[in-house]
Amino acid sequence: MTAMPSRAAAQPLQAAPSEQVRAAIARGTDLPILDLGPYLAGVPGALEQLAADVKLIQEELGFFSVINHGIPHALIDESFRQTAKLFEIPMEEKLRHRVGYHHQGYLPPKASILKSEAIRTKIAENTKKDTNSAWLFMRNRTEDDPKVRANVRHRGLNQWPESLPEFRQTLYDYQLSMERLALKFLPIYARALELRADYFDSMFKAPEYYQRCAYYHPEEHLDEGQYALAPHSDGSFLTLLPMTPVPGLQVMTPSREWLSVSYVKDALIVNTGQILNRLSNDRFIATPHRVVNPPMKRYALTFFFYPDDDANVGPIPECVRPGDEIRYDSRSFYDFFVPYLDDLYHYNDAEFMKESESPGSLARSQ
């Protein structure tokens, strides 16, 4: 496990949150919108202003949207088109790639129950099967990758559909674009925590990610307490999600009400998960959210961004104020990730563990 960067004096922000962000949080009816254009263009002061806005958002709401983010709209549109095709291939082929030991592959509808200890304590125990279906992909690896050869759990080969070869290239291009953008967020979050701008660089030399291509199909009837995707909080450092005009995503506000996210053309939704929650010692929240039954077909291209497997995800020393309790243990990201997925996803049958374990893998009971 790599060591946490050394303690340094806090570096106070040189900007205050904008009135637009303050007003959006106070209203609680829509997400704050941040413009990344000036920052990506290197405009002086843009980083500090974004950091001040993100700091307030992450302490109060945990979700926002960004415009002028630099991801080509044509790539996002094509990724949505290919994802729609992904769920139209024959079921026989999809089931050949059913999600297994590495949590990579096809997840049929109503095949899992989403629940976790974090949500159990904040909301309620979920006992209903989610209605969505999904294809789950991690960072793309090759057969000679040491982690593939050792059968390290969740670090296996992605399962690509044979009948849709163009999907693989499109998703690969999409993931690389999202990774590049996610890395540009690192200085924003570092400054939002009043750390030096390059603080997180050493933790993201070979970042991991998890891509969830989801299909939310309208259901005529849902059981009470059943969702397209049940309430949960992400396990990511940050999550990037292109917006879709089809409604369904809801975010829990500080007053514990559900905010229905409104569509903003060409925008991305950004939120942080339990990794940044741990690193910040609870200063930055991992907000619960859910997807309700949509009025029509709805697709999602959720990109979960993580640090290196060996990065220390214990609380950053500068984020522990004098007199504060240290609320999380020091552990590697990988040692967090495996139990997180096991706690969150509960499958219907033994198909999940169809792949044999090896000395290089971690047991499900870790």
pTM of the model: 0.91
Task: Identify whether 23 is part of a domain.
Answer: no
Q: Which domain holds residue 347?
A: 69-353
Q: Say how many domains are in the chain.
A: 1
Task: Identify whether 183 is part of a domain.
Answer: yes
Q: Residue 31: how many CA atoms within 13 Å on its side-chain side?
A: 28
Task: Identify whether 39 is part of a domain.
Answer: no
- How far is CA 362 from each of CA 48, 154, 231, 340, rounded to the nearest angstrom? 41, 9, 27, 13
Task: Identify whether 37 is part of a domain.
Answer: no
Average pLDDT over residues 60-69: 97
For the chain, percent of residues with pLDDT exceeding 70 = 89
Nearest to 339 by CA among 108, 118, 58: 118
**Does residue 188 surpass a pLDDT of 70?**
yes
Task: Identify whether 103 is part of a domain.
Answer: yes
How long, in residues, is the chain? 366
Task: Identify whether 161 is part of a domain.
Answer: yes
* Tokens 């044999």 belong to residue: 356
Could you write out the DSSP letters of every residue in 151-175?
A: T-TT-S-----TT-HHHHHHHHHHH
CA dist., res. 107 & res. 133, Å (int): 6
**Does residue 4 surpass a pLDDT of 90?**
no
Pick from 5-19, 85-99, 197-211, 273-287: least confident: 5-19
Average pLDDT over residues 62-66: 98
CA dist., res. 307 & res. 236, Å (int): 9
Q: What is the CATH number of the domain that holds 343?
A: 2.60.120.330
- Can you give the pLDDT at residue 346? 67
- Can you give the pLDDT at residue 113? 75
Which H/E stretch holds residue 191?
helix 165-192
pLDDT-derived band at 325 (thresholds 50, 70, 90) equals very high
Task: Identify whether 60 is part of a domain.
Answer: no
Quick one: the chain helix, strand, coil %, rounded to 5? 30, 20, 50
Question: What is the tens place of the pLDDT at every residue in 285-307?
Answer: 999 999 999 999 999 999 999 99
CA dist., res. 321 & res. 343, Å (int): 30
CA dist., res. 175 & res. 303, Å (int): 8
Average pLDDT over residues 25-42: 96
Query: What is residue 298's three-state secondary structure?
Result: strand
Count, in order, helices (H) and strands (E) of the chain: 10, 14
The one-letter amino acid code at 36 reads L
Question: What is the tens place of the pLDDT at every residue in 242-284?
Answer: 999 999 999 999 888 999 999 999 999 999 999 999 999 999 9
- Dihedral in degrees, nearest 10, Cα atoms 331, 289, 29, 72: 80
pLDDT-derived band at 226 (thresholds 50, 70, 90) equals confident
User: Is 18 within 8 Å of 49 (Cβ atoms)?
Assistant: yes
Task: Identify whether 132 is part of a domain.
Answer: yes
Q: What tokens appear for 169 in the block? A: 């290239």
- Dihedral in degrees, nearest 10, Cα atoms 107, 109, 111, 115: 90
CA dist., res. 317 & res. 194, Å (int): 12
